[in-house]
């Protein structure tokens, strides 16, 4: 459970005094951007944020090295494993229909937000064939029992649309407060028919030696480790959703999105609500880390020796990447650039470096650009490409992309040798 997880981290900041869920939580999470923050009293509830705000902390929890995160996630995506259904879960101890979303510690993070927002919520749904989908969705509270849910055209959207076209509602479970392997799995992009819960189960096997455990909650599997669970239904009705601050730290606009009705709440004893700061480091990690294996796999298809991929914090772990390769032929750097864009279509800028450059050190990467890059020879510019809708500088999601080949020319490698003692 989250309380036990937070106790493992010596760097956790504990806020004992009462804190308002309207804007005040945000101030603390911005002040301690890379440290977990535990609030003891937010309208009488415990709240935590920035839990998974660094690669090192995520890797430590999973029992692996930081550099192995990419391969750990890739293995789970490629080898999903069955989860195990058990009879009980801690959250089943507390169940009620007598609750108000407005009275829960759901924060309003920024002044222009459309309302209080669930930001760490994952939605679990099952279709007629038995396929179980689990995915992240921001949810804006409207009143005591209803909210607007942002659905992009992916799997949950497809499941909802199939129901909505027949005037029916989609039965879902909304979960809040989960360990990082479940969160990372929920952020992966996979083929329809592969359950994110099975990806989480593979991660659980790799990290803890056991499959993910779930309980059957009225026909839908729910991980036993979650803090809050809500029985809900997504209706065909569309309502205003937004504004909302997305990963780039800028406001997304108001859209018509489905209305979701909350019916029953479950929670563990002394639960902790997970407040995921929009545009914060934790947001970067959970959204960006599952994209790195996709870039890696794409580049690996054109350059045999790929050593690592990093989506950078400065690029919101969405728009900028650094890729480390060993060149076998001149031109490999440019091929790697094009493959990186193919692996993550939202990517805007990519830098390709040699294996001796530490991709986790921004100064080292900049040094490679300074000493191994010539703009008239090594810059790749792609105008009017499809990019990210989250980039405010794009025009109708069309953007100019560039790639920097900061690798050494093979015929002059010795001229670029670093001095060593």
Which sequence positions are flagged as catalytic? 246
Per-residue tokens: 384: 């009017």
Strand order in the sheet with 320-325: 306-311, 320-325, 349-354, 398-406, 379-386
Other Cβ atoms less than 10 A from the Cβ of 250: the count is 14
φ, ψ dihedrals at 316, nearest 5°: 60, 25
- 292: Cα separation from own chain's centroid: 11
21 contacts 46 by C-beta, under 8 angstroms: no
Judged by phi (left if over 0) then psi (alpha if -120 to 50, else beta), residue 322 lies in beta
- 238: Cα separation from own chain's centroid: 26
* DSSP strand pairing (272-274 vs 244-245): unpaired
Report the alpha-carbon distance of residue 299 to residue 124 in Å, rounded: 32
Sign of CA dihedral 268, 140, 243, 105: negative
241 contacts 256 by C-beta, under 8 angstroms: yes
C-alpha distances out from residue 318 to 254, 272, 325, 349, 397, Å: 22, 28, 20, 10, 14
Report the alpha-carbon distance of residue 303 to residue 311 in Å, rounded: 19
């Amino acid at each position: 459970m989250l309380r036990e997880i937070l106790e493992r981290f010596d760097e956790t900041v504990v806020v004992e005094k009462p804190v308002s869920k309207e804007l005040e939580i945000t101030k603390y999470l911005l002040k301690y951007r890379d440290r977990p923050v535990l609030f003891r009293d937010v309208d009488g509830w415990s709240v935590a944020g920035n839990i998974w705000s660094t690669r090192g902390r995520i890797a430590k929890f999973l029992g692996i090295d930081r550099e192995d995160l990419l391969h750990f996630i890739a293995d789970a995506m490629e080898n999903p494993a069955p989860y195990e259904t058990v009879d009980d879960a801690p959250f089943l101890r507390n169940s009620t229909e007598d609750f108000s979303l407005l009275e829960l510690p759901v924060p309003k993070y920024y002044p222009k937000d459309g309302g209080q927002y669930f930001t760490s919520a994952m939605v679990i749904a099952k279709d007629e064939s038995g396929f179980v989908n689990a995915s992240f969705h921001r949810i804006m509270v409207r009143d005591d029992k209803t909210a607007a849910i942002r659905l992009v055209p992916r799997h949950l959207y497809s499941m909802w649309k199939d129901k909505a076209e027949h005037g029916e509602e989609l039965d879902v479970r909304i979960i809040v407060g989960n360990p990082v392997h479940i969160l990372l799995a929920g952020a992966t992009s996979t083929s329809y028919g592969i359950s994110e819960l099975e990806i989480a189960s593979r991660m659980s096997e790799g990290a803890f030696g056991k499959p993910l455990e779930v309980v059957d909650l009225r026909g839908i599997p729910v991980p036993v480790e979650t803090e809050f669970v809500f029985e809900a239904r997504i209706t065909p009705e569309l309502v205003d959703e937004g504004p909302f601050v997305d990963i780039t730290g800028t406001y997304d606009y108001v859209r018509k999105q489905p209305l979701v009705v909350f019916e029953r709440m479950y929670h563990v004893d002394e639960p902790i609500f997970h407040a995921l700061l929009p545009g914060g480091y934790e947001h970067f990690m959970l959204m960006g880390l599952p994209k790195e294996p996709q870039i890696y796999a794409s580049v690996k298809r054109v350059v045999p020796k790929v050593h690592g991929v990093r989506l950078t914090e400065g690029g919101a772990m969405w728009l900028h990447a650094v890729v480390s390769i060993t060149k076998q032929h001149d031109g490999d750097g440019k091929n790697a650039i094009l493959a990186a864009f193919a692996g993550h279509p939202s990517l805007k800028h990519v830098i390709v470096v040699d294996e001796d450059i530490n991709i986790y050190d921004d100064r080292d990467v900049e040094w490679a650009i300074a000493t191994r890059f010539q703009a008239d020879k090594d810059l790749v510019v792609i105008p009017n490409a499809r990019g990210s809708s989250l980039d405010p500088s794009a025009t109708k999601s069309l953007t100019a992309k560039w790639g920097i080949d900061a690798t050494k020319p093979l015929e002059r490698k010795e001229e670029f040798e670093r001095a060593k003692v």
